[in-house]
Chains A and B, each alone.
Chain A
């Protein structure tokens, strides 16, 4: 049934050679960087040829299923698998007793059992893995496993969890940790402020809702356990799997299949260890596992719901003097990346605004809800909704234009953010001015077709510290290798989750070396073949892996220059490489082709490969004050404007116009930057208006797309993108990154516009029609 692959390959080559991207953006004099080059994987995706995890299945393989907890909080008194083992077609029924390593995982704390031995803490906890000849048999056998529980009272809210007599979810108690930031004297400054506004904002639990369900396969051949599952940091996942299963790292290979979205949802381990365990038990057989949507939503971590108490003080002229903020973070059952999310919330507590006195407390509390962890924006998302909301409340109180209030308080280049870190190039003002000009702020119109329709305009400005920061080792590695066929292989473990990392590394390598894009072959994310490049998260891949690729490419280029210099007998610093050919800039007629360079290089003993590591340091934030001279390697700025209509009779919102401006340093591929901005805005509209995981008694009531409402093509307006390019000295060709900021800026802009339309803030997210209607009529 397969189509003619050769013919299609020719068509792809022709398409890349003849078609131009339809981008409106093209910047700078460079040949490859700054161009909207077609995505290298787009044709394979548009024809259905590319293989995601589930596409690696075969009927001949073995199929696994996972037994989940029956209670959100319970002791396990016994597990009886005898009946399940007798089901015809069942090959193995595995419990904690079969796990030979620590049986623990978790990105920052190993606090979650792979297969629970004595206790379950949420309904997604796993108890057993069944492997059978078919998925249906495995499913049938799950029902035959008898688990004896002693149910414990479920702890479902932060208040319940903090009661002195609350049942302990973990032995050490229900508080995961706290994070503090102290700058100046906020209580005193608030007492002396001319105006103080105060509010409580509750954000919701959000699901990543990537479309490509958790799925993959594993095989153990007696020497190597190979696991093919989409993650976001293969080398860290390999470490976690090795610890849990008691394997040496060398016996474990992770390969990333094509990945259909991640958004932070693949940071925590998902099915990798179950698959590895099953494959180890069934040596020589390939084991597959896939989640249906409900299991995916029940098992996976979520975006933290956070209750934010925010007090903001200012002088009569609008100058901010103090902020006091407390974040109550529902961690759910396990730590996940929670501590890091909490730190991001605290270090971004006042966003891009100058506030001399700041007091922040963040407290993370365990409950028996779904664990919460990484999702695009990582704590900065919830925080921006709070500080921008408070800026709107303050402007209303002062009778000031909310734009003027923001402009007055935005940090400028050379000012410090909340952590005390000085930002040499702070372009929030530039971004803000660009969107205000585009929307023509002074001449905005409130005229609507009918009196029950109210128009509102919202704005937001955000800043975002890129990378892990806080002194955590943050490194990317890359390797560039020139093959005898004249192809430059660019190896890194960055992951193309859909954002376009493949083109990012390819375009940087092509530009740096001086070869056409079609001479670059990216080799990505296979622990046997590619060096560690950190996680694909924290908006860090362009900055970190992009830099590593540029460094390796530069080293390779130097070899080519040395070869040409020796062969042409010309000075090495006069040798140029362009379009794959080397020549002396002053005598361009004498040239060496790439083929000749390779042949000469081999003859002269050049390796024709180069490796690199890019590891810019940061400084830990002080544990008491949260202050650090360099908490993050660099900062990103952006600003959005939103125009919408609220139907005051129904509470429905129609977003009419949306403008997003981001300073990305340098757009390596402008089309992909626009793709990231528009996609982030769509997710932000989802979070602001409709998305919510509804939990009751520890159970998700809407574990499917019928009831978990996502934005469709009708909900997302045209998103006008403005790209600013103020180069960053630490990034490749000046690039910073763009992944998370567009989502962070969207919620605040939409909520700001709703408040403008109805005259009151919506304090609980998402701002559904019902909540808006109630806010109007309360």
Chain B
């Protein structure tokens, strides 16, 4: 909705990227945020906008494995890159282990920050095979949660790490 209509469709950007494993090739408004593009053009509403200025992590998506604030990115910035949204985590009818631990630990309350938190944890566990408590805090401090007080979030992340067999002995 933030896209500006250009005359005769000119100025559209020929987007090529991969979203949740599917190749996307289409002409898009180049000044649309990645957040609005995912939600309004692709119907991937699991990515949430909350602060809209890169402070709260609710809109996290993984771009080539890195958690990025999709509210702060324009669509052309994911050209030729791989994007994973929360919808891309559960595979073959199975929840991702991080999702499962969030559910089991009561780390989900209102749920609005949950997709961003889960993706932050996914990114951390993908790059750090032995996260310490401090490393978890570094990995998760870009996400605001107003409901839980974070205790259950941290527990869910640590249990997920345990279960993935990644945690330091």
Contact = CB atoms under 8 A, between A and B. Distances in A.
A261 B114 contact: no
B146 A211 contact: yes
Interface string B97-131: 00110111110111111110010000000000000
B150 A46 contact: no
A136 B106 contact: no
B106 A674 contact: yes
Contact of A499 (B42, B90, B109, B141): B109
B79 interface: no
Among B145, B149, B150, max chain A CB count under 10 A is at: B149
Contacts of A550: none
Among A8, A46, A706, max chain B CB count under 10 A is at: A46
B137 A706 contact: no
A52 B111 CA distance: 10
Nearest to B89: A47
A222 interface: no
Interface string B131-164: 0000001001111111111111111000100000
Given A39-B103, A46-B118, A705 B87 contact: no
A43 interface: yes
The 6 closest A-B pairs by CB, nearest first: A48-B46, A498-B110, A45-B111, A7-B93, A260-B112, A678-B149
A10 B144 CA distance: 31
A689 interface: no
Interface of B: 1-4, 19-20, 22, 39-53, 55-56, 58, 85-90, 92-95, 99-100, 102-106, 108-115, 118, 137, 140-155, 159
A2 B49 CA distance: 19
Contacts of A2: 43, 87
Interface in A480-514: 497-500
Contacts of B154: 713
A681 B151 CA distance: 11
Given A48-B87, A675-B109, A713-B140, A55 B155 contact: no
Given A683-B146, A713-B143, A293 B104 contact: no
Contacts of B50: 211-213, 260, 293, 705
B137 A713 contact: yes
Nearest to B98: A46
Interface in A549-582: none
A312 B44 CA distance: 58
Interface string A31-51: 000001011011111111111
Contacts of B145: 211, 713
Given A45-B111, A713-B143, A714-B137, A705 B51 contact: yes
Interface string A426-466: 00000000000000000000000000000000000000000
A1 interface: yes
A1 B50 CA distance: 23
A57 B42 CA distance: 12
Contact of B53 (A57, A134, A258, A293): A293
A676 B4 CA distance: 44
A38 B104 contact: yes
Contact of B151 (A6, A213, A678): A678
Interface of A: 1-4, 6-8, 10-11, 15, 19-23, 36, 38-39, 41-52, 54-55, 57-59, 63, 134-136, 209-213, 258-261, 263, 292-293, 497-500, 671-672, 674-675, 678-683, 704-706, 710, 712-714, 716, 718-719
A52 B90 contact: no
Contact of A210 (B110, B142, B149, B155): B110
Contacts of B89: 47
A8 B93 contact: yes
A58 B166 CA distance: 42
B2 to A, nearest CB: 6
B45 A48 contact: yes
Given A705-B56, A718-B151, 10 more contacts: A19-B104, A41-B108, A46-B102, A54-B39, A211-B144, A211-B145, A678-B152, A683-B146, A705-B50, A706-B55
A42 B112 contact: no
A22 B112 contact: no
Contacts of A57: 39-40
Contacts of A259: 110
B43 A1 contact: yes
B99 to A, nearest CB: 4
Contacts of A706: 51, 53, 55
A52 B49 CA distance: 11
B110 A261 contact: yes
Contacts of B47: 48
A213 B155 CA distance: 27
Contacts of B153: 713
A55 B110 CA distance: 15
Given A46-B114, A57-B40, A679 B108 contact: no
A57 B45 CA distance: 9
B103 A46 contact: yes
A293 B22 CA distance: 32
A58 B1 CA distance: 10
A238 B122 CA distance: 42
A251 B112 CA distance: 31
B104 A22 contact: yes
Contact of A3 (B4, B45, B87): B87
B159 A22 contact: yes
Given A38-B103, A682-B149, A704-B51, A135 B93 contact: no
A705 B144 CA distance: 9
A634 to B, nearest CB: 25
Given A46-B99, A212-B110, A10 B93 contact: yes
A706 B50 CA distance: 12
B40 A258 contact: no
6 contacts: A58-B40, A211-B110, A293-B53, A712-B144, A713-B153, A714-B141
A718 B52 CA distance: 29
Contacts of B151: 678, 716, 718-719
A20 B159 CA distance: 14
A187 B87 CA distance: 65
Contacts of B137: 713-714
Contacts of A682: 146, 148-150
Given A36-B106, A46-B95, A261 B43 contact: no
A51 B45 CA distance: 8
Contacts of B45: 48, 51, 54-55
Contacts of A23: 106
A2 B87 CA distance: 7
Contacts of B142: 712
Contact of A8 (B2, B90, B106, B146): B90
Contacts of A675: 106, 109, 147-148, 152
B149 A679 contact: yes
Nearest to A88: B5
A714 B138 CA distance: 8
Among A136, A211, A683, max chain B CB count under 10 A is at: A211
Contacts of A716: 149-151
Nearest to B50: A211
Contacts of A211: 48, 50-51, 56, 58, 110, 112-113, 144-146
Given A46-B95, A211-B58, A675-B109, A710 B40 contact: no
B106 A1 contact: no
Contact of B146 (A36, A135, A261): A261
B117 to A, nearest CB: 9
B122 to A, nearest CB: 12
Contacts of B140: 713
Contacts of A55: 39, 45
A22 B155 contact: yes
A54 B49 contact: yes
A48 B149 contact: no
A713 B141 contact: yes
Nearest to B20: A1
